[in-house]
Amino acid sequence: MSLSRALALLLVALLAACAPAAPRPASVAPEDRAAIAARLEADIAALSSDAMAGRKPGTEGGRETYAWIEQRMGEAGLVSGTNDPGSYWRLPVDLLSVTPESAELVLGQGRRRVVVPTEDAAVFTPRRRALAFGGPGTGVPVVFVGYGDGSVLGDALAGAVAVMLADPGRDQARREALFRQRATAVLTILPDRDALAALRAREDRPRLQLASEEQDHLAAYITDKAFAEVIGARRWAGWKKEAEAGDHAFAPLELNLSVSIEATSDRREFASQNIIGMIPGSVPGSGAVLVLGHWDHLGECGPPEAIDRICNGAADNASGIAMMLELARRLKAGPPPARDVYFLATTAEEPGLLGIRAFVKNPPFPLASIVAAFNLDMMAVAPAGSPVGYIGRGRDAALDDVVLAAMGNRGRTLGDQTLADSFLQRQDGWALVQAGVPAVLLSSTYGTRAILDPFIASRYHQPSDEVEGIELGGAIDDLLLHEDLIRTLADPQKYPAPAKTRP
């Protein structure tokens, strides 16, 4: 027995002697922490191994990953949570990957036709090929809407090509409004080539989306200078002035301009999987607790010349899946909960919370039955004893009370709330919050900048996020806190479901 072990036992004995009347969670012996650490590390090592190739949805590594999770869920004693005998463990998520391929914008006035050079124009479509013509002789009006969204026109935009002036912050919503009015294409005038380059940096790469959210848009962009050259500088300056003066009330005008817009994309449709297991509650119909974490990561992401290009995602988010599995094992080892406890490993979080959004759209059990959801994301960064970053605090008073009490019982302190709040919309729990499900993320990773910033700077979304760099002290603290919380919240006697979440 080591000296420190002897001291630890003495300390436990002293604490026991002066224990307060309130029930405290069972303390965890150092050798138990060591056993938890060994299991977490083994699972993180497996998930972040090069064999999983960075766990990208739609790849062999992605399929390996969810097959591995299913197997571990089964070994932990979970049963399928799909509530569909035809699909064990798996909730398919239909995804669409679109990569822009080619684009051409041709403008003309009278007999003059100008193929706008690529430094001055860009066109994007989710279709394999999209083409739109407008202007004199085509039967398709080209309509200048200025800074508006075409709503003053009623149905008159249907089939037209709309031309709008960029107005940062509002453009996306205005473009969507124009497409809702069935514009065939929208041409946005950007202030300069820098703005166009910034747009390309965002749009000119593979984009993953839910197949169910596909929008059939043909969106073209041109710099102000290039547009002025075709229209005539003086005339263009005059129209812009009118548009500025009129703002939203500006009466759209039909342009005597011929337009040809074309774009092609490489499209791939495929299914990935959310994986869901559960511990059935002993009191059916009493509600559910949901534990979730995303299994996907970025695949290859290092620079092209790097020797190691695989982004293994050990902290992000092999650690969250490992913690979910360990929670499942520990909860299975105890008395059965009254409420159902679900364990959901989501796909495609990295490209924009796609897997969880698919889950919310088509849940395998009523979302309203979930009394609380705990997202586990980037859990293996902080050392033991670190403050808790509480993402999602302040949205559900009853849940806040239970979480803060559980933290107090474990001697945990609350971290920097501003820091935690800044992550609210960047994690899977956000899709649940938006659907009215009380969802939080409790992790010592987001407790202080002193802990988070060095990780973000050196390993976040880089090939260096490997198992060698993980820190499990804070993860074990957080795991024990979650275990307490899930047991409490899964018990209707201790946590009656608020009326709004009652199934």
Of 75 and 453, the one with the shorter C-beta distance to Zn ion is 453
CB of 358 to Zn ion, least distance (A): 18
Of 224 and 316, the one with the shorter C-beta distance to Zn ion is 316
- 369 Cβ contact partners less than 8 Å away, ≥ 6 residues apart: 287, 288, 501, 502, 503
Cβ proximity of 258 and 134 under 8 Å: yes
Of 37 and 456, the one with the shorter C-beta distance to Zn ion is 456
Nearest to 65 by CA among 331, 349, 437: 349
CB of 114 to Zn ion, least distance (A): 43
List residues bridging with 343 in a β-sheet: 277, 291
Where residue 244 falls (left for φ over 0; alpha for ψ -120 to 50; beta otherwise) is: alpha
State which residue has the least CB distance to Zn ion: 316
- 111 Cβ contact partners less than 8 Å away, ≥ 6 residues apart: none
Tokens 């593979």 label which residue? 206
Of 41 and 316, the one with the shorter C-beta distance to Zn ion is 316
* Mode of pairing for the β-strands spanning 90-109 and 129-134: unpaired
CB of 316 to Zn ion, least distance (A): 4
CB of 453 to Zn ion, least distance (A): 16
Token pair for residue 9?
Answer: 């036992």
Nearest to 350 by CA among 433, 199, 461: 461
Of 316 and 491, the one with the shorter C-beta distance to Zn ion is 316
Tokens 């979480």 label which residue? 403
CB of 66 to Zn ion, least distance (A): 17
CB of 193 to Zn ion, least distance (A): 32
CB atoms within 10 A of CB 301: 18
Rounded to an integer, what distance in angstroms lies between the CA atom of residue 470 and that of residue 9?
Answer: 28
CB of 378 to Zn ion, least distance (A): 7
Alpha helices in 410-471 (DSSP H): 417-421, 429-434, 449-458
Q: Which residues bind Zn ion (CB under 5 A)?
A: 316
Element (H, E) at 354: helix 354-361
Of 150 and 351, the one with the shorter C-beta distance to Zn ion is 351
CB of 314 to Zn ion, least distance (A): 12
CB of 461 to Zn ion, least distance (A): 6
Rounded to an integer, what distance in angstroms lies between the CA atom of residue 98 and that of residue 467?
Answer: 32
Of 70 and 316, the one with the shorter C-beta distance to Zn ion is 316
Of 209 and 462, the one with the shorter C-beta distance to Zn ion is 462
What is 19-45 written as a DSSP string?
Answer: --SS--PPP--HHHHHHHHHHHHHHHH
Of 316 and 483, the one with the shorter C-beta distance to Zn ion is 316
**Secondary structure in 3-state letters for 255-280:** CCCEEEEEEEEEEEEEEEEEEEEEEC
